[in-house]
Chains A and B, each alone.
Chain A
Amino acid sequence: MALTFEKTKGLTDVPTHYCPGCTHGIIHRLIAEVIEELGVLDKTIGVAPVGCAVLAYDYFSCDMFEASHGRAPAVATGIKRAKPDSVVFTYQGDGDLAAIGTAEVVHAATRGEKITTVFVNNAIYGMTGGQMAPTTLPGQVTETSPYGRDTQLAGFPIRVSEMISTLEGACYVERVSVDSVKNVLKTKKAIKKAFEYQLAGKGFSMVEVLSTCPTNWGLSPTEAMGWLRENMIPYYSLGVKKDIAGEVK
């Protein structure tokens, strides 16, 4: 019988701990497929964050690090400087990257570290049970914004991709979404491009992936996809925010 589907070698056989309907599984698979397709599984080193993806080191079959909260880009810097021939990526959520780890991602980007960051933005702290994140939308109800995020008290959500795209060291920044099959395919393309830029030694590359958290949003997986489309995409516009190849042309 002809083989019609084979799981990517970039993932282990360990069952993930993610909630039903969570999009981390999709994003893990896309990264793993890209690593396999680029033929770099043997020299890739990943860095897992603190947050829902804390156990990602069990799921990727390449060598992995577990970093402290927010510090993945600094850890990745150490790895890449020690082993310049390796392919290094960080996998970080919005609490990890856009709150406690803001300094690390900004400076890794501005130094032009030849690493790739996959930034998973679901507008909430997942692992700790649904608190307000730096990316939580105005008016959005969370455990720590029970009356909705009041921008007068809690400020405004950060558009990380736009911010990073202003830095000279960043070579490729794109915001994508995994809310539909079409967008999932676009996400894979973006991740592949980000890795390719790293392989070409162009600088820091980042893909921000809009994703869902049905559990903490209190929605079904399908409703969560709709909420992402209706609420997140209008604030966090999809598309390429920076591409130095484009600039060169």
Chain B
Amino acid sequence: MGNKVLMKGTEAIGEAAVRADCQCFFGYPITPQTEVAAYMAKKMPKLGRAFVQAESEVAAINMVYGAAGTGVRCMTSSSSPGISLMAEGISYLAGAELPCLIINIVRGGPGLGSIQAAQSDYFQATKGGGHGDYNMPVFAPSSVQEMVDLIQDAFDVADLYRTPSMVMGDGMLGQMMEPVEFREREPRRLPEKDWAATGLLGRTKHNVINSLYLEPEELEQHNTRLQAKYKTIQENETRYELFHCDRENDLILVAYGTTSRICKNVIKAAEKDGIKLGLVRPITLWPFPDQAFEETVTRTKFGYLSVEMSAGQMVEDVRLAVNGRKPIDFYGRTGGMVPHPDDILARVKQMVLEGVSLWH
């Protein structure tokens, strides 16, 4: 308790998952997160738990489907192209309502892209990715400490709502070393997994893990139930941080993960020029924190500036939340480039001092 250790992001993910009682890890090597698998390969066998290096991300996510269906905590970890390969499996997990944790340490795309940090999987993570009407809780930590804390939360939310959940960082969070503390916490009250296919073990009726409903009426009912569940998740599990939003601001920045940390530095630097900035930091990307905008929309003179390491994928959600009440602008870098605080500040000044909006 209270012991801080210096750890690399990817290894901290592994340790946090081990402490969250993850019983099985299935993965396939891909930069920049392979250290998660390496960490688990070292740890899991010593604890009598399972580590399997799969033949592909497709196989890895289906191994997760198998293990999750038996009711044990399990996970996989990958990076963008690997998550694309898992998309079908994630849809099956959502359809069969199986709890598990999926880590995505995002790298630049599209295609093989690069191995540098990016946030260009926002659409994929929050708008489906796989086929069908489903959502999945997506947690976006901004530090190694928060990543560690959110892994426990993501497992709990997965179990509580019978859903896959994702912790999405970027290559920078995965590779950086920061002090972390593994905090003992009160466990959340979680339901019995009486649906799990464990073998009958004395049960008279068999349990079936399935996402097939051939009758349209039945599939619609299933979807209606899923949508009701997603609404409950939206109501109960939305998370965000408001930074310097308890004042009248010239402009409010919107950023998550690594870019939110850069934005906090920009806010400090802007003070010297007499510009007041706030920050809305979504911690859950889905559900998106609409409420954060209700709380801040009257406290920003020039509206919002979404800062991302993508071509503006989060802007759509900001627009829906603000719903035309204030202008919304965007600054971003792509391809694995990280926004520089000076460039963000220059963009802020154009908006606040010159009233110039460059993005439509």
* Binary contact readout B29-63 vs A (1 if CB under 8 angstroms, 0 otherwise): 00000000000000000000010101110111011
Specify which of A41, A63, A77, A86 is in contact with B63 (CB 8 Å cutoff).
A77
Specify which of B24, B66, B211 is in contact with A74 (CB 8 Å cutoff).
B66
A74 x B54 contact (CB < 8 A): yes
Does residue A189 face the partner (Cβ distance < 8 Å to B)?
no
Binds A, one of B200-208, B217-225, B267-275: B200-208
Specify which of B67, B72, B96, B212 is in contact with A54 (CB 8 Å cutoff).
B212
- Give the residues from 154 to 186 in chain A that come closer than 8 angstroms, CB to CB, to chain B: none
Distance between Cα atoms of A83 and B72 in the complex (Å): 9
Does residue A193 face the partner (Cβ distance < 8 Å to B)?
no
B69 x A79 contact (CB < 8 A): yes
Does residue A42 face the partner (Cβ distance < 8 Å to B)?
yes
Q: What is the minimal beta-carbon distance from B155 to any residue of chain A, in angstroms? A: 15
Does residue B74 face the partner (Cβ distance < 8 Å to A)?
yes
Does residue B199 face the partner (Cβ distance < 8 Å to A)?
yes
- Please give me the residue from chain A that is nearest to B197 by CB atom: A63
Main secondary structure of the interface of B (DSSP, over half): mixed
Specify which of A66, A68, A103 is in contact with B56 (CB 8 Å cutoff).
A103
Distance between Cα atoms of A77 and B55 in the complex (Å): 12
Q: What is the minimal beta-carbon distance from A247 to any residue of chain B, in angstroms? A: 25
- Please give me the residue from chain A that is nearest to B68 by CB atom: A78
B202 x A75 contact (CB < 8 A): no
User: Which residues in B have their C-beta under 8 angstroms from that of A107?
Assistant: 54-55, 59
A57 x B201 contact (CB < 8 A): no
Distance between Cα atoms of A66 and B62 in the complex (Å): 11
Distance between Cα atoms of A45 and B70 in the complex (Å): 9
- Please give me the residue from chain B that is nearest to A72 by CB atom: B62
Q: What is the minimal beta-carbon distance from B40 to any residue of chain A, in angstroms? A: 13
A62 x B206 contact (CB < 8 A): yes
Does residue B234 face the partner (Cβ distance < 8 Å to A)?
no
User: Which residues in B have their C-beta under 8 angstroms from that of A60?
Assistant: 206
User: Which residues in B have their C-beta under 8 angstroms from that of A55?
Assistant: 212
B59 x A79 contact (CB < 8 A): no
Specify which of A63, A66, A81, A87 is in contact with B211 (CB 8 Å cutoff).
A66
Does residue B177 face the partner (Cβ distance < 8 Å to A)?
no
Distance between Cα atoms of A107 and B59 in the complex (Å): 9
A81 x B63 contact (CB < 8 A): yes
Q: What is the minimal beta-carbon distance from B279 to any residue of chain A, in angstroms? A: 40
User: Which residues in B have their C-beta under 8 angstroms from that of A54?
Assistant: 212
Q: What is the minimal beta-carbon distance from A218 to any residue of chain B, in angstroms? A: 26
- Give the residues from 176 to 203 in chain A that come closer than 8 angstroms, CB to CB, to chain B: none
The residues of B with any CB-CB pair to A shorter than 8 Å are: 23-24, 26, 50, 52, 54-56, 58-60, 62-70, 72, 74, 88-89, 92, 96, 197-202, 206-212
Across the A-B interface, the 3 shortest Cβ-Cβ residue pairs: A78-B66, A78-B63, A74-B62
Q: List 19 A-B contacts (CB under 8 A).
A: A45-B198, A57-B208, A63-B206, A64-B208, A65-B65, A65-B66, A68-B62, A68-B89, A74-B54, A74-B66, A75-B66, A78-B63, A78-B67, A79-B197, A80-B66, A81-B67, A82-B74, A86-B70, A86-B198
The residues of A with any CB-CB pair to B shorter than 8 Å are: 12, 41-45, 47, 54-55, 57-58, 60-68, 71, 74-83, 86-87, 103-104, 106-107, 111
Q: 11 additional contacts, CB 8 Å, given A76-B66, A79-B69, A82-B24?
A: A42-B201, A45-B198, A64-B206, A65-B65, A71-B58, A74-B59, A74-B63, A75-B62, A79-B70, A82-B66, A83-B72
